[in-house]
Chains A and B, each alone.
Chain A
């Protein structure tokens, strides 16, 4: 079959400050293709799709779409050219109706003088909803009546309404439950069958294998290879993504879940936030204590509660010397550290330099009398830059342009620099490239061996099983089970405790 080119990107380059997100990427997509796009966080896959969809401008290079030059000023222009995108996060507008959401930006089509022809809007909106198999959604309902999955379907309706020649699906399936995913797969196949095209970005290699007829692999901003149908395989994808062979095990390889006897931190009958109730546990020296559960079971509140960052309704947190931890200041003085789930909002001062961020908890110690030397701050930071292999020009660089992995290294560097003995980690490897993940796990294991203690709150069960000495499972704010490290521990047993 003759391959007809629908999208041609030549030598695409894009930088965010000193971070090179795309380097000379040549991407060609043909009609009738469901092209998978895979790469670790920081590989550039979201960047290139955002550029094609009109969300971001590019620095240099060329794009040809449908044989014509393509340089959209915004998403609306890209849509008019025939490219629509659906993303992972919520993309609907809260207080509007379903139909208003579908036609956002295009209301003039329905304007009659000063008014909007609501009947026509409703009819057309319902039509497209029915076409994609979402007839349970009523066009004139407020969008707020619908859950995340249905809202995503409305976004998909919005994207497909213009009958785009190229549909971009940017990690949408990650957050969708089974039914929504099936709808999306069906629509993608329909798009391909109608001789249009799909650019499908996902982390899930099985999903890509099942749905795509070609997969492009990106790494560190470069296009490494495009695998056609016969060449596609999961091991091949993985090794291209990482650049070297890597075994399945990147967690700890030992099965020794032992830890010291000394209790370093004790939580007694904690109640906090809306869900956490009468929660008690003990953390030991040299222990990696995993904490898991469903997303809203209260485990994130627990992390903050143990750190003194949230008001306790009942109970207390007691450090090994008997002091109660009632505030982050108290926690830090007892050599505790906290790595938040919301890195950009709670763990970093984005507009400040790496040095300012890393040295902050340690300023108390660094100040001698009434003198604080900038050189001491820099020395502490440089040590951490080296230890953690933070990719940057120097400590004076601001944090906001660093990749997710490097930002997290800055956060860890901050606590290691302050010689933290107890670390509370909340989703520590979220949004991080695989290279950094491996480094983080190695670091955690090293800290354990040095006799430090880690509480690791995670939504990823493989991570919990792979790294923890014990796993505490929370269900509806209460302790549901404590599982110990062993080779018979599998995802099933953990999930059982969670539900």
Chain B
């Protein structure tokens, strides 16, 4: 019960407290519109993937390949936009995301391989492909597409994603099934739910989100390089956990976890940098916050239990 309440209120409360704290400490510098835009732009990618990752985390899964996937999608996006156009690029990155979701989900669930291993393997494969493809020259995006980098467009995309995912999660059986699988996959299967199919579906939805994020990331970066997308999956993982998502999934999973957590991380990073901290320390700070959050929110059994 106590863990439940902590999980529900702490992330949002934490976000507000931290933001206000930095506002006070930095003398209001974090409230300037350019800083707020900066926070939004940085957190956009993590928020988008965090929202789309809800189904995966709800069923207790994890996707460690999305860094490489983002890189590949950035590559596909820039090549398509240079040669064909925006809409085909969008379609192609979405397709790539779908295929990637089928790969990681299908191989893990039907091949009985732990999903974090499949994820890591795919990560390396994607990274390898990306490195080869970008080894010849830096590929850059044509200027006419810079409108895509505006916070207005991205806000629309984000709201649309949250609306769609939120609806599917709360008002269709998909959300219930994913949480049930996370709570007890065996019992759920015995209730007649095709747990394997729904597990793969979760990764496909995440893949689509990552694909779209990749297109926007590419425009923001101006192109693609061999390191594109690095550590993306870790940022998303930390974000959802900070946002209150239980690692084993189940009934307490919520769509808002990705949103709140992403903002929280970025606000913290942004705040420290504003106060003059060495940007190199930021990783260390992230790590400490992560483990502290898990410590407080993870369900830990005290002592022994007799049935």
A interface residues, Cβ below 8 angstroms from B = 17, 46-47, 50, 55-57, 74, 307, 309, 327-329, 331-333, 338, 340, 345-353, 356, 359-361, 363-364, 366-367, 370-373, 398, 414
Contact = CB atoms under 8 A, between A and B. Distances in A.
A74 to B, nearest CB: 8
B251 interface: yes
B191 interface: yes
B251 A348 contact: no
What 4 pairs across the A-B complex have the smallest Cβ distances?
A332-B192, A349-B183, A363-B173, A349-B184
Contacts of B180: 349, 352, 356, 360
Given A348-B184, A349-B187, A371-B172, A57 B303 contact: yes
A372 B251 contact: no
A333 to B, nearest CB: 7
Contacts of A46: 306
A63 to B, nearest CB: 17
Interface size class of B (residues with CB under 8 A): 20 to 34
Interface in B32-60: none
B250 interface: yes
B194 interface: yes
B22 interface: no
A17 B1 contact: yes
A346 B193 CA distance: 13
A372 B179 CA distance: 15
A353 B4 CA distance: 13
Given A17-B1, A348-B184, A363-B176, A329 B250 contact: no
Given A331-B192, A352-B250, A360 B304 contact: no
Contact of A372 (B176, B191, B303): B176
A327 B195 CA distance: 12
B186 interface: yes
B191 A360 contact: yes
Contacts of B250: 349, 351-352
Most buried by A among B177, B193, B252, B306: B306
Contact of B306 (A17, A50, A371, A373): A50
A329 B251 contact: no
Interface string B168-212: 000111001101100110111111111000000000000000000
Most buried by B among A50, A345, A352: A352
A265 B306 CA distance: 40
Contacts of A351: 183-184, 250-252
A328 B251 contact: no
Contacts of B176: 356, 359-360, 363, 372
Contacts of A331: 192
A55 to B, nearest CB: 5
Given A55-B306, A346-B187, A349-B180, A329 B172 contact: no
B166 to A, nearest CB: 13
Interface of B: 1, 171-173, 176-177, 179-180, 183-184, 186-194, 250-252, 303-304, 306
Contacts of A363: 173, 176-177
A372 B184 contact: no
Given A309-B190, A348-B187, 19 more contacts: A74-B303, A331-B192, A332-B191, A346-B187, A346-B190, A347-B190, A348-B184, A349-B187, A349-B250, A352-B179, A360-B180, A361-B192, A363-B173, A363-B176, A367-B173, A370-B172, A371-B172, A372-B173, A398-B251
A265 to B, nearest CB: 16
Contacts of B183: 349-352, 356
Nearest to A370: B172
A398 to B, nearest CB: 8
A371 B171 contact: yes
A328 B304 contact: no
A345 B189 CA distance: 12
B179 A356 contact: yes
A317 to B, nearest CB: 15
Most buried by A among B180, B183, B188, B191: B191
Contacts of A74: 303-304
Contacts of B177: 363
Contacts of A352: 179-180, 183, 250-251
A346 B191 contact: no
20 contacts: A46-B306, A55-B304, A55-B306, A329-B192, A332-B191, A345-B187, A346-B190, A347-B190, A349-B184, A349-B188, A352-B179, A356-B179, A361-B191, A361-B192, A363-B176, A364-B173, A367-B172, A370-B171, A371-B171, A372-B173
Contact of A329 (B187, B193, B306): B193
Nearest to B250: A351
A356 B1 CA distance: 17
A328 B190 contact: yes
Contacts of A55: 304, 306
Most buried by B among A74, A345, A372: A372
Contacts of A370: 171-172
A121 B176 CA distance: 55
A346 B186 contact: yes
A29 to B, nearest CB: 20
A428 to B, nearest CB: 15
A30 B187 CA distance: 47
A280 B141 CA distance: 68
Contacts of B192: 328-329, 331-333, 361, 364
Contacts of B187: 345-349
A346 B189 CA distance: 9
B110 to A, nearest CB: 14
Most buried by B among A348, A360, A361: A360
A353 B173 contact: no
A398 B251 CA distance: 10
B169 to A, nearest CB: 11
A352 B184 CA distance: 9
B172 A340 contact: no
Contacts of A345: 184, 186-187
A367 B176 CA distance: 11
A346 to B, nearest CB: 5
A171 B188 CA distance: 32
Contacts of B188: 349, 360
A467 B157 CA distance: 61
Contacts of B190: 307, 309, 328, 338, 340, 346-347
A320 B227 CA distance: 60
B184 A350 contact: yes
Given A17-B1, A349-B180, A349-B184, A414 B173 contact: no
Contacts of A367: 172-173
Contacts of B171: 370-373
